[in-house]
A and B are shown apart, each in its own frame.
Chain A
Amino acid sequence: MLLANAARYLAKLGKGVVALDFDFEAPGLHYKFGAGEYHIALGGAVPYLLATAEGTAFPPPFDDHMISVPVPEGRGWLRLLPAGPAPHQTYWAALKELGDRLRLTDLSGRGFMALLDLQARIEDELKPDYLLIDARTGVTELGGLATSVLADTVVCMLAPNQESLDGTLTVVEALKSTPRLANQRPIRVVPILSRTAGKLSSEGRFAAGIMKLLSFGGRPDLFVLPHDDDIGTFGDEEKASDSSPLYEAYIELFHGLFPAAE
């Protein structure tokens, strides 16, 4: 949801945005953009990567795989590359085939090149101001690649419990020590505590973990997205009211995440 909101926020500010769903095992970003019932013949990242897994001089047109998302009141544009037509069976069949054909541990580097090719093509042809990638929660090969190789900034969402914090610390520590490709800047990590209810303790193991997490992010304070009891549903989207603490927290977060956007 954070990614969908960020994409809309940036597009309304006049920016060009591409949102990419790399959460292949739990694909759902298209629902957040109100495209949950798009036709199953439409492609997505998985069908695109299947078509380009070996490399090709003639990759399929992006229009066959992307959705243009309307931006009301906005001056920018927003295009979505969904994972694919999930939850239809054709998506899972394509994902299985992709797993057989595109191995990131392939020592030839072909799997990495296929993913880097997609990212580079988006940059070269669409020239978005922002490419937002929804990556898989947890420790997966694709999640590792999306956050350590494809990203300039990694936004880590964590829940207010020790399990989530310990897991996030492990991944962030690993990310910060991961080497980058030759022409990449050091990675920026932004931790966000979500679904909080009530004040967080400033003492104890959890508080110490938060301090450690902040030291990796280079910010003195933590972004917090509070739990919103009043959140409702509207079509495929969840919406917070303009006056809710959650809405205000989102705005503060986006100011911090995208300082150059305004």
Chain B
Amino acid sequence: MDTDTLNTLVTGAIWRAEELESRSIPSTSAWAEVSSLEEDLAKAHPVTEGQGRIARRGAVRAALKSGNYTRAYALADGYLAEANVPESFKIELRTILEEYTQAMASRFQYASKHYSVREAQGWARRLSENGAFNLAA
């Protein structure tokens, strides 16, 4: 698919997701579509181009809005590991994830008094990679 078509599709998908969200209609699948289209655009543009960075940010943000946090973190990991990533863009991506992390801490008020979200994320990653009890490591 050419980038003009992708841009048209992503613009329409963002409009639809925002409209649903503003009317309190479930919008997670619409944001998932946005994330997928932004990811395709990111593949078409290198991170050194402005459009490439916008697409990468959009893919991560939309994945978070879709509730697919694992996808958001995986996309961010991939983008941060790319060659020639500007330092300012790395900070932007990390900030997006950090804002999400802080918002989550405020939603889990009891756990946040005793544990940090970062610790929970570390455990989730270990569980994801090593399985229960680290037995698959």
Contacts and interface: CB of A to CB of B under 8 A. Distances in A.
Interface in A101-151: 103-114, 116-121, 123-124, 139-141, 143-145, 147-149
Given A109-B104, A116-B110, A181-B123, 4 more contacts: A109-B124, A118-B110, A123-B114, A145-B127
B108 A117 contact: yes
B135 A170 contact: yes
A120 B114 contact: yes
A87 interface: no
A182 B119 contact: yes
Nearest to B69: A108
Interface string B97-137: 00011001111111111111111111111011001111100
Q: Could you tell me the dominant secondary structure of chain A's interface residues?
A: helix
Contact of B115 (A55, A145, A175, A181): A181
A178 B110 contact: no
Contacts, number: 119
Interface string A53-80: 0111100000000000000000000000
A258 B112 CA distance: 29
A113 B133 contact: no
A106 B122 CA distance: 11
B89 interface: no
A56 B121 contact: no
Contacts of A174: 133-135
B83 to A, nearest CB: 23
Interface stretch (B17-25, B29-37, B49-57, B70-78): B70-78
Interface of B: 69-70, 72-74, 100-101, 104-125, 127-128, 131-135
Contacts of B112: 113
Contacts of B70: 103, 105-108
A201 interface: no
Given A116-B115, A141-B132, A148-B133, A107 B124 contact: yes
A54 B108 CA distance: 8
A104 B122 CA distance: 11
A121 B110 contact: yes
Q: Could you tell me the dominant secondary structure of chain B's interface residues?
A: helix
Contacts of B114: 116, 120, 123, 183
Interface of A: 54-57, 103-114, 116-121, 123-124, 139-141, 143-145, 147-149, 170-171, 174-175, 177-178, 181-183
B121 A55 contact: no
Given A181-B115, A181-B119, A106 B124 contact: yes
Contacts of B101: 108-109
A113 B120 contact: yes
A220 to B, nearest CB: 26
Given A113-B120, A174-B135, A175-B133, A107 B69 contact: yes
A161 to B, nearest CB: 21
Nearest to A56: B107
A113 B120 CA distance: 6
Contact of A116 (B106, B107, B111, B134): B111
A47 B122 CA distance: 26
B115 to A, nearest CB: 5
Given A120-B111, A124-B113, A144-B127, A110 B69 contact: yes
Contact of B74 (A107, A110, A143, A178): A107
Nearest to A113: B108
A46 B72 CA distance: 26
